[in-house]
Chain A
Amino acid sequence: MVGPVKRPGGLPDIIRESDRPIIIYQGYPPNQQDAVAGNSLGLLSWLALLSLCLGVVGFCYWRVLNPAHDREQASVIYPEGRPLGLAKQIEERAQINARAEGLVAFLDRVRSDNLDQRRTRSTHPLLNDPGGIDQLRREWDDMCLSIREGIYERRIGQIEARLAELRRRRALTPDPAEAARLDGEVQGLLRQRSDEASRKKTDSDPALRCTPSAQATVCSEKNGEAWCNPDKVRPGDFVDKAT
């Protein structure tokens, strides 16, 4: 069976044997080159658009779900600092709002009970619950007393160490004048120890007097702490109510 002769690289016989004119272009036929260039541009713009969309998606989700915390800024809720992601910021704010809810109403109720001269039954979880301010104040006062105790103990301990040293030297010295001097020092240290013990007992050292946390000074306008003037420290955290 004799079929059409195929020449590699040549034109198919069906075209070669047709009566139609055969035109061989150098390069692209007219208007075809523009189409190729248009395809490349289309691909590039498609890629750019896709990248833009994916970038927007990534940015938005990172802004919402970012799990990191800013350690430079203290958080009222998180010990590791203020959250950076919006979701965690919402969670933080929700907890703050839940804790502070009804605080002014509680104050009004107590004042109302005072006016009526009756014992208030109102409580607020932020103040009265376990882990609330009342309990933390007691813990803070205990901690202060414990630190004060430790300072006195260290002072007395230092005096006693010095006393032991002097007594050891006194026992070893053969010189009566030196022994008399050491005896004098020992007596002085004994007096010091007695004074220190007395101060500890009577809490008479003003430098080591614990101020109860419930009697601490009240915040003034100039205080720059977040628990005094949070609206000055973090103005962005407070939005005026829409009127």
Chain B
Amino acid sequence: MTSTEEPPPVAEMHVVPPDPEPRNLVQWIGQLGRIVSRLWVVGLLIGAAMGSGVALNQMFQAEARLEAMRQEPGPDAYAVVAYRRELARQIEAYRRVRTADAVPQPPARPRLLEEIDIARRRNQGVTQGGSGSAPPRTMPVVNAPN
């Protein structure tokens, strides 16, 4: 210590003396740089948080959309689409096989497709056997017992 006076109290010791020199340009630029870098860091964090929120939202929306699409059609209609795909796949696969030893067996038909097949076959029978013009639909006559 260079002074012979009583040392100041502890609270006073931590008071930083005011800078007697004016801040120069370099200090100002440094200060500005610090502010900008802090803003950049905070902005980056906020941006990342927002981005993750958007990404989560997109993912949950996609899942919800898929879930909604899975309500229709039911398994019966889905099976007919899958049957069409299986037919196409078998045709493609057997085209590559040139030395088959046995004839292929067709894929089993889905139940809905069988109903459609029956209805269409019946319609063809109606067309070939019938007049083609539609008779009026009649209710069956039921006689009451005497």
Given contacts A93-B66, A211-B105, contact A227 B94 (CB under 8 A): no
Task: Note all chain B residues with C-beta closer than 8 A to A164.
Answer: none
Given contacts A117-B130, A144-B104, A217-B109, contact A93 B70 (CB under 8 A): yes
Question: A120–B82 contact, CB under 8 A?
Answer: no
B contact residues, total (Cβ < 8 Å):
83
Give Cα A18–Cα B62 distance, bound, in whole angstroms: 71
11 sampled A-B residue pairs with Cβ under 8 A:
A97-B73, A103-B76, A103-B112, A116-B135, A119-B127, A133-B113, A140-B87, A147-B100, A213-B107, A218-B114, A237-B70
Question: A90–B66 contact, CB under 8 A?
Answer: yes
Given contacts A99-B81, A148-B103, contact A117 B126 (CB under 8 A): yes
Q: Name A60's closest neighbour in chain B (CB-CB).
A: B55
Chain A: interface size category? 35 or more
Task: Note all chain A residues with C-beta closer than 8 A to B126.
Answer: 113-114, 117-119
Binds B, one of A48-56, A178-186, A188-196: A48-56
CB < 8 Å A-B pair total: 244
Mark A residues whose CB is within 8 Å of B: 14, 16, 18-23, 29, 46, 49-50, 52-54, 56-57, 59-61, 63-64, 74, 76-77, 79, 86-87, 89-90, 93-94, 96-97, 99-101, 103-104, 106-107, 110-111, 113-120, 126-127, 131-133, 136-137, 139-140, 143-144, 147-148, 150-151, 154, 207-214, 216-220, 223, 225-231, 237-242
